[in-house]
A = this chain, B = another copy of it.
Protein backbone atom coordinates (compact mmCIF):
# COMPACT_ATOMS: atom_id res chain seq x y z
CA UNK A 1 0.00 0.00 0.00
CA UNK A 2 2.64 2.56 0.93
CA UNK A 3 4.55 1.67 -2.22
CA UNK A 4 1.46 2.15 -4.29
CA UNK A 5 0.96 5.52 -2.64
CA UNK A 6 4.50 6.52 -3.36
CA UNK A 7 4.02 5.57 -7.00
CA UNK A 8 0.88 7.63 -7.31
CA UNK A 9 2.57 10.58 -5.67
CA UNK A 10 5.58 10.42 -7.88
CA UNK A 11 3.45 10.02 -10.96
CA UNK A 12 1.93 13.47 -10.47
CA UNK A 13 5.32 14.92 -9.65
CA UNK A 14 6.89 13.35 -12.70
CA UNK A 15 4.13 14.47 -15.02
CA UNK A 16 4.41 18.04 -13.73
CA UNK A 17 8.15 17.92 -14.26
CA UNK A 18 7.85 16.64 -17.82
CA UNK A 19 5.20 19.16 -18.78
CA UNK A 20 7.05 22.07 -17.19
CA UNK A 21 10.31 21.17 -18.93
CA UNK A 22 8.36 20.86 -22.16
CA UNK A 23 6.82 24.29 -21.57
CA UNK A 24 10.17 25.87 -20.85
CA UNK A 25 11.73 24.32 -23.96
CA UNK A 26 8.86 25.41 -26.20
CA UNK A 27 8.94 28.88 -24.68
CA UNK A 28 12.69 29.05 -25.24
CA UNK A 29 12.36 28.06 -28.88
CA UNK A 30 9.21 29.94 -29.89
CA UNK A 31 8.10 32.61 -27.47
CA UNK A 32 9.44 36.16 -27.47
CA UNK A 33 8.04 39.42 -26.18
CA UNK A 34 6.46 41.58 -28.84
CA UNK A 35 9.37 43.40 -30.51
CA UNK A 36 8.25 46.85 -29.51
CA UNK A 37 6.78 45.50 -26.28
CA UNK A 38 3.61 47.40 -26.96
CA UNK A 39 0.89 45.87 -24.78
CA UNK A 40 -1.98 46.34 -27.16
CA UNK A 41 -0.01 45.10 -30.10
CA UNK A 42 -1.32 42.08 -31.91
CA UNK A 43 -1.03 40.84 -35.47
CA UNK A 44 -3.58 41.44 -38.12
CA UNK A 45 -5.47 38.16 -37.81
CA UNK A 46 -6.81 39.00 -34.40
CA UNK A 47 -9.93 41.01 -33.80
CA UNK A 48 -8.26 43.49 -31.58
CA UNK A 49 -6.01 44.87 -34.23
CA UNK A 50 -8.85 46.06 -36.37
CA UNK A 51 -9.69 48.84 -34.02
CA UNK A 52 -8.07 51.47 -31.87
CA UNK A 53 -4.67 51.58 -33.41
CA UNK A 54 -3.95 54.82 -31.60
CA UNK A 55 -1.30 54.96 -28.96
CA UNK A 56 -3.50 56.42 -26.23
CA UNK A 57 -4.95 52.98 -26.18
CA UNK A 58 -2.06 51.41 -24.33
CA UNK A 59 -2.77 52.30 -20.76
CA UNK A 60 -6.07 50.45 -20.36
CA UNK A 61 -4.45 47.27 -21.58
CA UNK A 62 -2.38 47.13 -18.43
CA UNK A 63 -5.64 46.80 -16.61
CA UNK A 64 -6.27 43.67 -18.59
CA UNK A 65 -3.06 42.12 -17.42
CA UNK A 66 -4.15 42.94 -13.96
CA UNK A 67 -7.49 41.36 -14.59
CA UNK A 68 -6.10 38.34 -16.31
CA UNK A 69 -6.05 36.16 -13.24
CA UNK A 70 -9.33 37.42 -11.89
CA UNK A 71 -11.56 35.27 -14.02
CA UNK A 72 -9.77 32.08 -13.11
CA UNK A 73 -9.82 32.97 -9.49
CA UNK A 74 -13.38 34.17 -9.60
CA UNK A 75 -14.32 30.70 -10.67
CA UNK A 76 -12.00 29.25 -8.11
CA UNK A 77 -13.64 31.21 -5.35
CA UNK A 78 -17.00 30.09 -6.65
CA UNK A 79 -15.84 26.49 -6.48
CA UNK A 80 -14.67 27.03 -2.94
CA UNK A 81 -18.25 27.37 -1.83
CA UNK A 82 -18.82 23.85 -3.02
CA UNK A 83 -15.66 21.97 -2.27
CA UNK A 84 -13.84 23.86 0.39
CA UNK A 85 -10.19 24.78 0.59
CA UNK A 86 -9.14 21.18 0.02
CA UNK A 87 -9.64 21.36 -3.71
CA UNK A 88 -7.73 24.59 -4.25
CA UNK A 89 -4.18 23.24 -4.37
CA UNK A 90 -4.88 21.13 -7.44
CA UNK A 91 -6.87 23.92 -9.07
CA UNK A 92 -3.96 26.30 -8.71
CA UNK A 93 -1.71 23.72 -10.34
CA UNK A 94 -4.23 23.43 -13.19
CA UNK A 95 -4.28 27.21 -13.61
CA UNK A 96 -0.49 27.49 -13.50
CA UNK A 97 -0.08 24.82 -16.16
CA UNK A 98 -3.04 25.75 -18.36
CA UNK A 99 -1.96 29.39 -18.69
CA UNK A 100 1.48 28.45 -20.01
CA UNK A 101 0.05 25.86 -22.35
CA UNK A 102 -2.62 28.23 -23.62
CA UNK A 103 -0.09 30.99 -24.26
CA UNK A 104 1.80 28.50 -26.41
CA UNK A 105 -1.14 27.06 -28.31
CA UNK A 106 -3.02 30.30 -28.85
CA UNK A 107 0.25 31.89 -29.84
CA UNK A 108 0.54 29.22 -32.55
CA UNK A 109 -2.79 30.33 -33.97
CA UNK A 110 -2.80 34.06 -33.41
CA UNK A 111 0.54 35.57 -32.67
CA UNK A 112 2.96 33.72 -34.92
CA UNK A 113 5.21 35.94 -36.98
CA UNK A 114 8.35 34.66 -38.66
CA UNK A 115 8.26 31.41 -36.71
CA UNK A 116 8.18 33.14 -33.33
CA UNK A 117 5.24 33.66 -31.00
CA UNK A 118 5.12 37.24 -29.81
CA UNK A 119 3.42 37.50 -26.43
CA UNK A 120 2.08 40.53 -24.64
CA UNK A 121 -0.72 41.43 -22.29
CA UNK A 122 -3.20 40.42 -24.97
CA UNK A 123 -1.90 36.85 -25.14
CA UNK A 124 -2.20 36.35 -21.41
CA UNK A 125 -5.78 37.60 -21.43
CA UNK A 126 -6.56 35.11 -24.20
CA UNK A 127 -4.79 32.33 -22.35
CA UNK A 128 -6.81 33.12 -19.32
CA UNK A 129 -10.06 32.62 -21.18
CA UNK A 130 -8.93 29.10 -21.99
CA UNK A 131 -8.03 28.49 -18.37
CA UNK A 132 -11.51 29.60 -17.39
CA UNK A 133 -13.03 26.99 -19.72
CA UNK A 134 -10.85 24.34 -18.12
CA UNK A 135 -11.97 25.40 -14.64
CA UNK A 136 -15.62 25.21 -15.70
CA UNK A 137 -15.06 21.70 -17.04
CA UNK A 138 -13.34 20.55 -13.88
CA UNK A 139 -16.43 21.75 -12.03
CA UNK A 140 -18.37 18.96 -13.71
CA UNK A 141 -15.96 16.19 -12.76
CA UNK A 142 -14.52 17.56 -9.53
CA UNK A 143 -14.23 14.91 -6.89
CA UNK A 144 -14.14 12.00 -9.30
CA UNK A 145 -10.79 12.46 -10.97
CA UNK A 146 -7.31 12.43 -9.53
CA UNK A 147 -4.78 15.22 -10.09
CA UNK A 148 -2.98 13.38 -12.87
CA UNK A 149 -6.26 13.03 -14.74
CA UNK A 150 -7.05 16.69 -14.18
CA UNK A 151 -3.71 17.72 -15.58
CA UNK A 152 -4.30 15.64 -18.71
CA UNK A 153 -7.80 17.08 -19.00
CA UNK A 154 -6.29 20.58 -18.91
CA UNK A 155 -3.71 19.59 -21.53
CA UNK A 156 -6.34 18.27 -23.95
CA UNK A 157 -9.03 20.85 -23.28
CA UNK A 158 -6.74 23.83 -23.81
CA UNK A 159 -5.81 22.34 -27.19
CA UNK A 160 -9.39 21.85 -28.38
CA UNK A 161 -10.52 25.15 -26.85
CA UNK A 162 -7.82 27.14 -28.62
CA UNK A 163 -8.72 25.49 -31.91
CA UNK A 164 -12.42 26.22 -31.44
CA UNK A 165 -11.72 29.82 -30.49
CA UNK A 166 -9.46 30.33 -33.47
CA UNK A 167 -12.05 28.98 -35.92
CA UNK A 168 -14.90 30.98 -34.41
CA UNK A 169 -13.26 34.31 -33.77
CA UNK A 170 -10.65 34.56 -36.49
CA UNK A 171 -11.89 32.46 -39.40
CA UNK A 172 -15.65 32.92 -39.05
CA UNK A 173 -15.54 36.45 -37.66
CA UNK A 174 -18.06 35.67 -34.94
CA UNK A 175 -18.51 38.43 -32.38
CA UNK A 176 -18.30 36.74 -28.98
CA UNK A 177 -16.15 38.94 -26.88
CA UNK A 178 -17.67 38.00 -23.52
CA UNK A 179 -17.00 34.40 -24.53
CA UNK A 180 -20.52 33.05 -24.02
CA UNK A 181 -19.76 30.30 -26.53
CA UNK A 182 -16.04 29.70 -26.44
CA UNK A 183 -15.74 29.66 -22.67
CA UNK A 184 -19.08 29.09 -20.94
CA UNK A 185 -20.82 26.74 -23.40
CA UNK A 186 -17.67 24.97 -24.50
CA UNK A 187 -16.37 24.45 -20.98
CA UNK A 188 -19.69 23.22 -19.64
CA UNK A 189 -20.41 20.62 -22.33
CA UNK A 190 -16.83 19.46 -22.57
CA UNK A 191 -16.93 18.76 -18.86
CA UNK A 192 -20.32 17.07 -19.03
CA UNK A 193 -19.21 14.71 -21.79
CA UNK A 194 -16.12 13.76 -19.81
CA UNK A 195 -18.33 13.28 -16.77
CA UNK A 196 -20.62 10.97 -18.77
CA UNK A 197 -17.70 8.79 -19.83
CA UNK A 198 -16.36 8.52 -16.30
CA UNK A 199 -19.81 7.62 -14.91
CA UNK A 200 -19.80 4.92 -12.25
CA UNK A 201 -23.32 4.38 -10.92
CA UNK A 202 -22.86 2.71 -7.54
CA UNK A 203 -19.97 4.79 -6.34
CA UNK A 204 -21.53 8.14 -6.94
CA UNK A 205 -24.79 7.67 -5.13
CA UNK A 206 -23.34 7.95 -1.70
CA UNK A 207 -21.43 11.05 -2.53
CA UNK A 208 -24.40 12.96 -3.76
CA UNK A 209 -26.10 12.81 -0.43
CA UNK A 210 -23.06 14.04 1.39
CA UNK A 211 -22.67 16.83 -1.06
CA UNK A 212 -26.04 18.12 -0.12
CA UNK A 213 -25.15 18.11 3.53
CA UNK A 214 -22.17 20.26 2.77
CA UNK A 215 -24.34 22.96 1.25
CA UNK A 216 -24.95 24.62 4.58
CA UNK A 217 -21.32 24.61 5.58
CA UNK A 218 -20.06 26.52 2.61
CA UNK A 219 -22.10 29.67 3.07
CA UNK A 220 -19.12 31.76 4.02
CA UNK A 221 -17.27 30.83 0.86
CA UNK A 222 -20.39 31.51 -1.16
CA UNK A 223 -20.59 35.00 0.35
CA UNK A 224 -17.00 35.74 -0.61
CA UNK A 225 -17.48 34.22 -4.06
CA UNK A 226 -20.61 36.26 -4.75
CA UNK A 227 -19.01 39.53 -3.67
CA UNK A 228 -15.97 38.69 -5.76
CA UNK A 229 -18.06 38.06 -8.86
CA UNK A 230 -20.08 41.26 -8.43
CA UNK A 231 -16.96 43.33 -8.11
CA UNK A 232 -14.71 41.91 -10.77
CA UNK A 233 -16.77 40.11 -13.37
CA UNK A 234 -18.57 43.02 -15.07
CA UNK A 235 -15.22 44.57 -15.70
CA UNK A 236 -13.81 41.30 -16.88
CA UNK A 237 -16.55 40.69 -19.38
CA UNK A 238 -15.64 43.96 -20.96
CA UNK A 239 -11.89 43.45 -20.86
CA UNK A 240 -11.82 42.19 -24.41
CA UNK A 241 -14.67 44.25 -25.73
CA UNK A 242 -13.88 47.25 -27.78
CA UNK A 243 -12.42 50.18 -26.01
CA UNK A 244 -14.07 53.48 -26.52
CA UNK A 245 -17.79 53.84 -26.42
CA UNK A 246 -18.87 50.23 -26.69
CA UNK A 247 -17.09 48.91 -23.64
CA UNK A 248 -19.28 50.93 -21.41
CA UNK A 249 -22.42 49.17 -22.52
CA UNK A 250 -21.00 45.72 -21.98
CA UNK A 251 -20.24 46.60 -18.37
CA UNK A 252 -23.64 48.16 -17.76
CA UNK A 253 -25.54 45.35 -19.49
CA UNK A 254 -23.72 42.71 -17.48
CA UNK A 255 -24.40 44.63 -14.35
CA UNK A 256 -28.11 45.08 -15.00
CA UNK A 257 -28.39 41.42 -15.95
CA UNK A 258 -26.89 40.18 -12.73
CA UNK A 259 -29.00 42.52 -10.64
CA UNK A 260 -32.20 41.22 -12.23
CA UNK A 261 -31.03 37.65 -12.00
CA UNK A 262 -30.41 38.06 -8.28
CA UNK A 263 -33.88 39.45 -7.64
CA UNK A 264 -35.41 36.61 -9.67
CA UNK A 265 -33.76 34.10 -7.38
CA UNK A 266 -35.50 35.72 -4.43
CA UNK A 267 -38.81 35.48 -6.28
CA UNK A 268 -38.55 31.82 -7.23
CA UNK A 269 -36.98 30.29 -4.18
CA UNK A 270 -39.94 30.78 -1.85
CA UNK A 271 -42.25 29.41 -4.52
CA UNK A 272 -40.23 26.31 -5.33
CA UNK A 273 -38.74 25.44 -1.97
CA UNK A 274 -39.64 25.48 1.66
CA UNK A 275 -37.10 28.22 2.28
CA UNK A 276 -38.11 31.84 2.59
CA UNK A 277 -34.82 33.22 1.38
CA UNK A 278 -32.40 31.58 -1.02
CA UNK A 279 -29.14 30.15 0.21
CA UNK A 280 -25.98 32.03 -0.68
CA UNK A 281 -24.97 29.25 -3.07
CA UNK A 282 -28.15 29.86 -5.05
CA UNK A 283 -27.49 33.59 -5.17
CA UNK A 284 -23.99 32.86 -6.39
CA UNK A 285 -25.36 30.61 -9.12
CA UNK A 286 -27.82 33.30 -10.17
CA UNK A 287 -24.96 35.79 -10.35
CA UNK A 288 -22.91 33.48 -12.53
CA UNK A 289 -25.84 32.67 -14.82
CA UNK A 290 -26.79 36.33 -15.15
CA UNK A 291 -23.27 37.04 -16.28
CA UNK A 292 -22.90 34.07 -18.61
CA UNK A 293 -26.01 35.10 -20.54
CA UNK A 294 -24.46 38.51 -21.24
CA UNK A 295 -21.32 36.91 -22.66
CA UNK A 296 -22.14 37.42 -26.31
CA UNK A 297 -25.01 39.88 -26.10
CA UNK A 298 -23.29 42.23 -23.64
CA UNK A 299 -22.01 44.65 -26.22
CA UNK A 300 -24.95 44.23 -28.59
CA UNK A 301 -27.82 45.12 -26.30
CA UNK A 302 -28.77 48.72 -26.83
CA UNK A 303 -31.30 49.21 -24.05
CA UNK A 304 -30.90 48.69 -20.32
CA UNK A 305 -34.26 47.00 -19.86
CA UNK A 306 -33.21 44.32 -22.33
CA UNK A 307 -30.45 43.35 -19.95
CA UNK A 308 -32.88 43.42 -17.01
CA UNK A 309 -35.28 41.10 -18.84
CA UNK A 310 -32.55 38.73 -20.00
CA UNK A 311 -31.15 38.41 -16.50
CA UNK A 312 -34.60 38.09 -15.00
CA UNK A 313 -35.63 35.24 -17.30
CA UNK A 314 -32.39 33.35 -17.05
CA UNK A 315 -32.22 33.04 -13.35
CA UNK A 316 -34.83 30.26 -13.04
CA UNK A 317 -32.65 27.61 -14.60
CA UNK A 318 -29.95 27.61 -11.97
CA UNK A 319 -32.20 28.19 -9.02
CA UNK A 320 -34.68 25.47 -9.85
CA UNK A 321 -32.50 22.53 -10.58
CA UNK A 322 -28.86 22.96 -9.87
CA UNK A 323 -29.40 24.48 -6.48
CA UNK A 324 -27.42 22.96 -3.66
CA UNK A 325 -25.06 21.40 -6.10
CA UNK A 326 -27.20 18.35 -6.51
CA UNK A 327 -26.82 16.80 -9.94
CA UNK A 328 -29.98 17.42 -11.85
CA UNK A 329 -32.34 14.48 -11.69
CA UNK A 330 -32.91 14.24 -15.43
CA UNK A 331 -29.28 14.51 -16.36
CA UNK A 332 -28.42 11.99 -13.73
CA UNK A 333 -31.08 9.31 -14.19
CA UNK A 334 -31.60 9.50 -17.93
CA UNK A 335 -28.28 10.51 -19.33
CA UNK A 336 -26.15 8.95 -16.63
CA UNK A 337 -24.19 12.15 -16.45
CA UNK A 338 -23.11 13.69 -13.23
CA UNK A 339 -22.82 17.39 -13.00
CA UNK A 340 -21.06 17.92 -9.73
CA UNK A 341 -21.31 21.70 -9.61
CA UNK A 342 -24.30 22.30 -11.85
CA UNK A 343 -22.19 23.66 -14.67
CA UNK A 344 -24.96 22.81 -17.13
CA UNK A 345 -27.31 25.27 -15.52
CA UNK A 346 -24.80 27.92 -14.57
CA UNK A 347 -22.62 27.99 -17.66
CA UNK A 348 -24.00 25.66 -20.33
CA UNK A 349 -27.61 26.73 -20.68
CA UNK A 350 -27.06 30.48 -20.09
CA UNK A 351 -24.25 30.31 -22.62
CA UNK A 352 -26.51 28.76 -25.27
CA UNK A 353 -29.34 31.18 -24.54
CA UNK A 354 -26.87 34.04 -24.60
CA UNK A 355 -25.67 32.91 -28.01
CA UNK A 356 -29.23 32.73 -29.32
CA UNK A 357 -29.92 36.18 -27.88
CA UNK A 358 -26.75 37.43 -29.53
CA UNK A 359 -27.90 36.04 -32.89
CA UNK A 360 -31.25 37.73 -32.54
CA UNK A 361 -29.62 41.03 -31.64
CA UNK A 362 -27.26 40.71 -34.58
CA UNK A 363 -30.26 40.41 -36.89
CA UNK A 364 -31.72 43.57 -35.38
CA UNK A 365 -28.47 45.51 -35.63
CA UNK A 366 -28.75 48.57 -37.81
CA UNK A 367 -26.37 51.38 -38.46
CA UNK A 368 -28.89 53.72 -36.86
CA UNK A 369 -29.04 52.16 -33.42
CA UNK A 370 -25.35 51.32 -33.31
CA UNK A 371 -23.84 54.43 -34.81
CA UNK A 372 -20.09 54.37 -34.55
CA UNK A 373 -20.25 51.24 -32.50
CA UNK A 374 -21.24 49.14 -35.51
CA UNK A 375 -17.70 49.17 -36.77
CA UNK A 376 -16.44 48.13 -33.39
CA UNK A 377 -18.91 45.33 -32.70
CA UNK A 378 -19.34 43.98 -36.24
CA UNK A 379 -16.36 45.23 -38.24
CA UNK A 380 -17.12 43.08 -41.27
CA UNK A 381 -20.67 44.39 -41.48
CA UNK A 382 -19.51 47.97 -41.14
CA UNK A 383 -16.96 47.48 -43.89
CA UNK A 384 -19.72 46.21 -46.15
CA UNK A 385 -18.10 42.85 -46.78
CA UNK A 386 -20.93 41.05 -45.02
CA UNK A 387 -24.65 41.71 -44.53
CA UNK A 388 -26.33 41.68 -41.15
CA UNK A 389 -28.10 38.45 -42.05
CA UNK A 390 -24.83 36.77 -42.96
CA UNK A 391 -23.33 37.88 -39.67
CA UNK A 392 -26.35 36.51 -37.78
CA UNK A 393 -26.01 33.21 -39.63
CA UNK A 394 -22.36 33.04 -38.62
CA UNK A 395 -23.27 33.77 -35.00
CA UNK A 396 -25.92 31.05 -35.10
CA UNK A 397 -23.75 28.43 -36.78
CA UNK A 398 -21.06 29.03 -34.19
CA UNK A 399 -23.29 27.41 -31.58
CA UNK A 400 -23.56 23.88 -33.07
CA UNK A 401 -19.92 24.06 -34.05
CA UNK A 402 -18.90 24.80 -30.48
CA UNK A 403 -21.11 22.00 -29.18
CA UNK A 404 -19.54 19.64 -31.71
CA UNK A 405 -16.03 20.58 -30.67
CA UNK A 406 -16.96 20.24 -27.00
CA UNK A 407 -18.51 16.81 -27.57
CA UNK A 408 -15.64 15.49 -29.66
CA UNK A 409 -12.99 16.89 -27.38
CA UNK A 410 -14.84 15.60 -24.34
CA UNK A 411 -15.09 12.12 -25.86
CA UNK A 412 -11.40 11.90 -26.61
CA UNK A 413 -10.47 13.28 -23.20
CA UNK A 414 -12.91 10.96 -21.42
CA UNK A 415 -11.48 7.95 -23.19
CA UNK A 416 -7.94 8.95 -22.32
CA UNK A 417 -8.85 9.52 -18.68
CA UNK A 418 -10.58 6.13 -18.51
CA UNK A 419 -7.32 4.38 -19.29
CA UNK A 420 -6.62 1.96 -16.49
CA UNK A 421 -3.15 3.24 -15.71
CA UNK A 422 -4.52 6.65 -14.87
CA UNK A 423 -6.95 5.48 -12.22
CA UNK A 424 -5.46 5.34 -8.81
CA UNK A 425 -6.12 3.60 -5.57
CA UNK A 426 -7.07 5.57 -2.50
CA UNK A 427 -4.26 7.56 -1.08
CA UNK A 428 -5.17 7.68 2.53
CA UNK A 429 -2.39 9.87 3.73
CA UNK A 430 -3.01 12.80 1.48
CA UNK A 431 -6.72 12.58 1.57
CA UNK A 432 -7.32 15.45 3.86
CA UNK A 433 -5.56 17.79 1.56
CA UNK A 434 -7.01 17.30 -1.85
CA UNK A 435 -9.54 15.92 -4.24
CA UNK A 436 -8.05 12.60 -4.95
CA UNK A 437 -9.42 9.26 -5.87
CA UNK A 438 -12.49 7.54 -7.02
CA UNK A 439 -12.88 4.82 -4.47
CA UNK A 440 -14.00 5.72 -0.96
CA UNK A 441 -14.47 9.25 -2.05
CA UNK A 442 -17.46 9.71 0.12
CA UNK A 443 -15.28 9.22 3.13
CA UNK A 444 -12.54 11.33 1.70
CA UNK A 445 -14.78 14.29 1.33
CA UNK A 446 -16.00 14.00 4.81
CA UNK A 447 -12.45 14.13 6.01
CA UNK A 448 -11.51 16.92 3.69
CA UNK A 449 -14.36 19.07 4.77
CA UNK A 450 -14.78 18.31 8.41
CA UNK A 451 -11.15 17.51 9.05
CA UNK A 452 -10.17 21.03 9.78
CA UNK A 453 -12.84 21.70 12.33
- Chain A residues in the interface with B (C-beta under 8 A): 5, 8-10, 12-13, 16-17, 19-20, 23-24, 27-28, 31-33, 35-39, 56, 58-60, 62, 65-66, 68-70, 73, 76-77, 80, 85-86, 88-90, 92-93, 96-97, 99-100, 103, 119-121, 124, 147, 216-217, 219-220, 222-223, 226-227, 230-231, 234-235, 238, 244-249, 251-252, 255-256, 259-260, 262-264, 266-271, 274-280, 283, 302-305, 308-309, 312, 371, 373, 427, 429-430, 432-434, 436, 451-453
CA distance A432 to B277 in the complex (A): 10
CB nearest to A23 among chain B residues:
B308
A27-B305, A429-B276 as given contacts; A69 in contact with B33, CB under 8 Å: no
Flag if A271 contacts B10 (CB, 8 Å): yes
12 contacts between A and B (CB under 8 A): A12-B277, A36-B371, A37-B371, A38-B245, A65-B251, A66-B235, A85-B222, A89-B277, A92-B226, A92-B283, A120-B252, A121-B251
Report chain B residues within 8 Å CB of A10: 270-271
CB-CB nearest 4 A-B residue pairs = A27-B305, A276-B430, A37-B245, A13-B270
Give min CB distance, A404 to chain B, whole Å: 32
Contacts of A280 in B (CB 8 A): 85, 88-89
**Is B80 a contact partner of A223 (Cβ separation < 8 A)?**
yes
Contacts of A93 in B (CB 8 A): 262-263, 266, 277
Q: A369 to B13, alpha carbons, bound, how many Å?
A: 36
Tell me which residues across on chain B come within 8 A of A23, comparing CB atoms. 308
Q: Is the CB of B99 within 8 A of A16?
A: no
Structural contact, B27 and A270, CB atoms closer than 8 A: no
Identify the interface centre among A27, A223, A245: most chain B CB within 10 Å of its CB.
A223
Q: Does B371 contact A276, Cβ atoms closer than 8 Å?
A: no
A276: contacting residue among B17, B19, B256, B427, CB under 8 A = B427
The answer to whether A262 and B96 touch (CB under 8 A), given A89-B280, A276-B12, A276-B436, is yes
Residues of B within 8 A of A96 (CB): 259-260, 262-263
Of the candidates B24, B69, B216, B305, the one whose C-beta lies within 8 Å of that of A230 is B69
Chain B residue numbers with a CB within 8 Å of A103 are 304
- For A76, the chain B residues whose CB sits under 8 A away are 227
Distance A174 CA – B362 CA, assembled complex (angstroms): 45
A77 touches B227 (CB 8 A): yes
Q: B246 near A37 (CB under 8 angstroms)?
A: yes
Report the nearest B residue to A40, measured CB to CB. Answer: B248
Partner of A20, one of B120, B235, B264: B264
**Which B-chain residue is minimally distant from A279 (CB atoms)?**
B433
Supposing A65-B234, A90-B277, A220-B85 touch, asked if A12 and B266 sit within 8 A by C-beta, the answer is yes
Chain B: minimal CB distance from A403 (Å) = 31
B36-A309 in contact (CB<8A):
no
Decide if B33 touches A252 in the complex (CB within 8 Å). Answer: yes
A227 touches B89 (CB 8 A): no
Q: Which of B120, B252, B277, B302 contacts A65 (CB 8 A)?
A: B252
Q: Could you tell me if B263 and A97 are in contact, using CB atoms closer than 8 angstroms? A: yes
| A12 and B275 contacting across the interface, CB-CB below 8 Å | no
Contacting residue for A124 out of B35, B219, B231, B252, CB 8 A: B252
Contact A276/B434 with A96-B263, A121-B252 known, Cβ cut-off 8 Å: yes
Residues of the B chain whose Cβ atoms lie less than 8 Å from the Cβ of A267: 13, 16-17, 20
A395 to chain B, nearest CB (A): 22
